[in-house]
């Protein structure tokens, strides 16, 4: 538990702390600062007070000593016997955390006839693969997956458990966290270990992407976090690595489910998926109309790339959501990202900043997108894009 208190003898009543509190929880009464119920113990005022008059305390018993060798776990999501791309990124990040904690990295793999994937998981950094293989586990369903993994967690006591923020991960991780009575931080962009307490620092955008918040799970285990695809670096394979396979125990009760998968119909996407594309030509409100996306489609197809969009363009109904890049869209890391008529709001940048080369085309020279752009073209997109496409056509003809 955390406590905050005013050390009255140090307080000068200067009122400087009032502006430091984002929740308006501090008042001055009789020349002394008072902290009200709106306080959420963020600690901003503690650092702000020049007189050392605000103190935050933490009772020692609040911090749980995690089991020493429970390991760092990652969920090895697979579909139709193929590991999801984010699994390799979780293995890369998990390896880093496990090495720092001097504990094994473990992958949890559920499915049917998926034993062939264990070698790949070990080659990419797993020391142990916890495997549950059964016809009933062929396709992901919340109830059996949760029941089996929860039992594995209770038996082997991992310190940390990471998931990809895919549609499967977003369904499984919260249910599992609820079952295990622990916390879960979604969509982390950075993970690190804090000190001897072996706490996982889980950093993610907050307040509409305007600040980065670091979240700790002090009192419950495992510390659970999800990470969006393409945010962390992929692990590099080493086929000489050795690992162990441990079969998770299954019983008939765990395999029952109130849901049944009738069919799996992949989305019919005619264009290239933006998460996989090396080149993305992305359009924003500057395009002015849905029909103008055809300009970007033409350029993208010349470059063998995909078409992306800002949320403003998606919200206007000009292009489907699956093309949206950003905090509430997809995170992409292409070799080339061409931002056309996009201002560069922080929530858009959150999804594309790690592109190798960013080209911004905007008629406003002060648009924030130019601050992250490798190359900037100040001009009217309706002149620049046709000129670019024509130049490319000339090049290939």
* Other Cβ atoms within 10 Å of 375 Cβ, number: 11
Judge whether 261 and 139 are in contact, CB under 8 Å.
yes
Residues 6+ apart with CB under 8 A from 324: 308, 309, 310, 311, 314, 330
End-to-end CA distance of the chain: 70
Query: Based on CB atoms, which residue is closest to ligand FAD, 126 or 280?
Result: 280
Nearest one of 206, 205, 202 to 223, comparing CA atoms: 202
Count residues contacting ligand FAD (CB under 6 A)? Answer: 29
Helix (H) or strand (E) holding 193: strand 190-194
Beta carbon of residue 339, minimum distance to ligand FAD (angstroms, whole number): 8
DSSP letters spanning 112-128: SS-GGGHHHHHHTT-SE
Instruction: Output phi, psi for 179, to 5 deg.
Output: -65, -40
Instruction: Output phi, psi for 175, to 5 deg.
Output: -65, -45
165 touches ligand FAD by CB under 6 A: no
Instruction: Output phi, psi for 357, to 5 deg.
Output: -130, 130
Residues 6+ apart with CB under 8 A from 92: 124, 125, 232, 233, 234, 235, 236
* Rounded Cα gap, residues 185 and 107, in angstroms: 19
Beta carbon of residue 259, minimum distance to ligand FAD (angstroms, whole number): 30
One residue of 95, 96, 221, 348 binding ligand FAD per CB under 6 A: 348
* The residue to which tokens 């997809």 are assigned: 330
Beta carbon of residue 309, minimum distance to ligand FAD (angstroms, whole number): 7
Near ligand FAD by CB under 6 A, which window of 38-46, 212-220, 228-236, 284-292? 284-292
377 touches ligand FAD by CB under 6 A: no
Near ligand FAD by CB under 6 A, which window of 153-161, 244-252, 266-274, 341-349? 341-349
Query: Based on CB atoms, which residue is closest to ligand FAD, 99 or 315?
Result: 315
* Other Cβ atoms within 10 Å of 303 Cβ, number: 17
Binding mask 203-232 for ligand FAD (x = CB under 6 A): -----x------------------------
158 touches ligand FAD by CB under 6 A: no
Burial of 229 (0-12, 13-18, 19+ CB in 10 A): buried
284 touches ligand FAD by CB under 6 A: yes
Strands 199-206, 190-194: pairing is antiparallel
Near ligand FAD by CB under 6 A, which window of 60-68, 191-199, 239-247, 319-327? 319-327
354 touches ligand FAD by CB under 6 A: no
Site for ligand FAD in 295-314 (CB under 6 A): 310-313
342 touches ligand FAD by CB under 6 A: yes
292 touches ligand FAD by CB under 6 A: no
One residue of 48, 170, 241, 363 binding ligand FAD per CB under 6 A: 363
Beta carbon of residue 375, minimum distance to ligand FAD (angstroms, whole number): 15
355 touches ligand FAD by CB under 6 A: no
48 touches ligand FAD by CB under 6 A: no
* Interface residue list for ligand FAD (CB under 6 A): 208, 284-286, 310-313, 324-329, 341-343, 345, 347-348, 351, 361-364, 367, 380-382
């Amino acid at each position: 538990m955390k406590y905050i208190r005013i050390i009255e003898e140090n307080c000068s009543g200067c009122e400087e702390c009032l502006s430091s509190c984002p929740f308006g929880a501090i008042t001055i009464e009789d020349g002394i600062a008072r902290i009200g119920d709106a306080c959420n113990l963020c600690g901003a005022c503690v650092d702000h007070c020049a007189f050392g008059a605000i103190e935050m305390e933490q009772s020692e018993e609040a911090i749980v000593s995690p089991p020493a060798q429970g390991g760092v776990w990652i969920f090895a999501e697979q579909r139709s016997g193929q590991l999801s791309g984010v699994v390799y990124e979780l293995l890369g990040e998990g390896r880093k955390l496990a090495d720092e904690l001097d504990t094994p990295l473990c992958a949890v793999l559920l499915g049917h006839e998926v034993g062939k994937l264990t070698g790949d998981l070990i080659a990419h950094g797993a020391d142990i693969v916890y495997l549950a293989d059964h016809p009933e586990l062929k396709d992901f369903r919340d109830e059996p997956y949760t029941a089996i993994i929860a039992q594995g967690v209770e038996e082997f006591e991992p310190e940390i458990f990471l998931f990809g923020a895919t549609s499967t991960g977003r369904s499984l991780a919260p249910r599992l966290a609820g079952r295990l009575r622990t916390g879960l931080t979604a969509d982390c962009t950075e993970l690190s270990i804090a000190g001897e307490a072996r706490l996982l620092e889980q950093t993610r955008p907050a307040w509409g992407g305007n600040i980065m918040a670091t979240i700790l799970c002090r009192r419950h285990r495992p510390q659970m976090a999800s990470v969006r695809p393409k945010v962390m670096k992929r692990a590099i394979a080493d086929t000489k690595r050795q690992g162990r396979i441990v079969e998770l125990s299954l019983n008939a009760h765990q395999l029952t489910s109130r849901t049944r998968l009738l069919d799996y119909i992949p989305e019919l996407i005619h264009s290239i998926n933006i998460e996989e594309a090396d080149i993305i030509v992305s359009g924003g409100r500057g395009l002015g109309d849905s029909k103008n996306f055809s300009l970007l489609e033409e350029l993208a197809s010349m470059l063998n790339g995909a078409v992306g969009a800002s949320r403003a363009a998606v919200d206007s109904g000009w292009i489907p959501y699956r093309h949206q890049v950003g905090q509430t869209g997809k995170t992409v890391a292409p070799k080339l990202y061409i931002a056309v008529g996009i201002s560069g709001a922080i929530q858009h940048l959150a999804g594309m900043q790690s592109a190798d080369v960013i080209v911004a085309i905007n008629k406003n020279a002060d648009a924030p997108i130019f601050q992250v752009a490798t190359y900037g073209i100040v001009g009217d997109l309706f002149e620049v894009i046709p000129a670019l496409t024509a130049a490319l056509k000339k090049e290939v003809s």
